[in-house]
Structure 1
Amino acid sequence: MNNVPQIVEINEIIKETPSIKTFIFDWDMDKFGVPSPGEFVMVWNFHNEKPMSISLIDEENSRLAISVKNVGEFSSQLHNLNVGEKIGIRGSYGNGFSNDIRDKKILAIGGGVGMAPINAISTNLLKKGNTVDVVPAAVTKEELLFADSLKKSGANVFPCTDDGSFGFEGFATDCTIGLLEDRSYDFAFVCGPEIMMAGIYNILEESKINAEYSLERYMKCALGICGQCCVDNTGWRICVEGPVFKNDKINKISEFGKYRRTASGIKQ
């Protein structure tokens, strides 16, 4: 783990969708360790710092990537960067996905930019002999993330869009119900809007499929000190005990799928 921001140069920028860009940079894995899929890094733009999921872990070429949706001032500043410019990276942090699974049937579900960590774990598990079915979900075709690249990597991809512009017309929950009618899975991974994940949780529990869910909360320190990302009921810190939780823990988080808090602690 690296608790001091390391200044890295952006080697490549991929415009994935109209609102999402992937930033690829070198990372000294011998010095700072190999991140696990599902972990996150703190990204510093020399003015502010925000947590970002790792979307690519390229051990062979010592590279990492983050995929960022342009939703506010910080992400907009990142989107304005060019190849050759620099950012600060510290981490990686958190509790990642289980990546020691081999020769199993895996279901991976990602909504919107929640496909970032899903891409990392799916790519990892494909290399270990697993059969991976991926459900990338988005509002419309242009916003589908990593559907093509995962298909090229060997995953079975079942895209779904809210507006029906590509793949299954409807939500990820509906698409998952359809898949489970004639398919079985040993394990599942889920990341996306929390209301979506709550629906998926109910579906997978009914089908008795163990799963892991990646949560998002407002994080400041990433070290478990500030308490900003604690969830009600359990007091678990998303930056330390999470962001990934197994299904037998996710049901103990009373706010899951219901609300979260702003930087000032107000429910939203």
Structure 2
Amino acid sequence: MRRRILLGGGAAVATLATIAGYRRRMAEEGLAIPAAPAGEQRLLHLPSEARGRTVDVYTAVPAGYGGGHGLPVCLILHGGSKRPADFAALGLGRFLTDAVRRGAPPFVLVGADGDRLSWRPTGGDDPQRMVREEIPAWCRKLGYDADRLAAWGWSMGGYGALLLAEAYPGFVRAVAAFSPAVQPDDDVTRSAGLLRGTPVGLWCGKQDGLYFDVRTLEKQLPEPKAAGSYADGRHNFGYWSRCVPNAFDFVAGALRH
């Protein structure tokens, strides 16, 4: 299935994963994906001034909510390996519909390609500015409610989501971070006090090499973490997929009003 739309003069093409590709990738990752339908998923190609290039932008709307008009947004900040083109195969649209069918208030997912820059500016390439300025503008053109935002990321993206919330207090209503790639002396951990007033969810596997650093970050939070857990698991989507339902419930609650 291919869908073409026009956003501000730039053509955007969306391609959904084939059933065969979806099943193959699911088996490779060992993912725990719900059986719910994916709803509307798109892969857009949009020009980013902040990054100085055209970037892939993934969007997902829960099944039964059409194009997602008026729904709040959970921003996706990816890790070092997966990109927006991979999100459909990871089952993100299915997790989204499943959350809503379990009673969570509906929201949409939007995530753009930030490369491997840890979601911070490097030279003239600024993925954080893209998330802060450009993605909300794209969301408004798509009809989403860009005044209600949360952020979710894993690994490098978990670090980036926390860094974003610290750099712009109040920009997002909550942060869900899976195994964020933090260190005890990095910017995110040292500046954790800036997260006061922003609910934070932290999830990390006990066999993850980042486990103790994430626990150190938790101790530096100005308020107790609002969601999250530590369970057996490694630094991969086999573990993270088991955390998505809880994280989406958390995000939905923060975006409710």
Structure number with the higher strand fraction is 1
TM-score category by the smaller chain?
Answer: 0.3 to 0.5
TM-score (norm 1): 0.34
Structure number with the higher helix fraction is 2
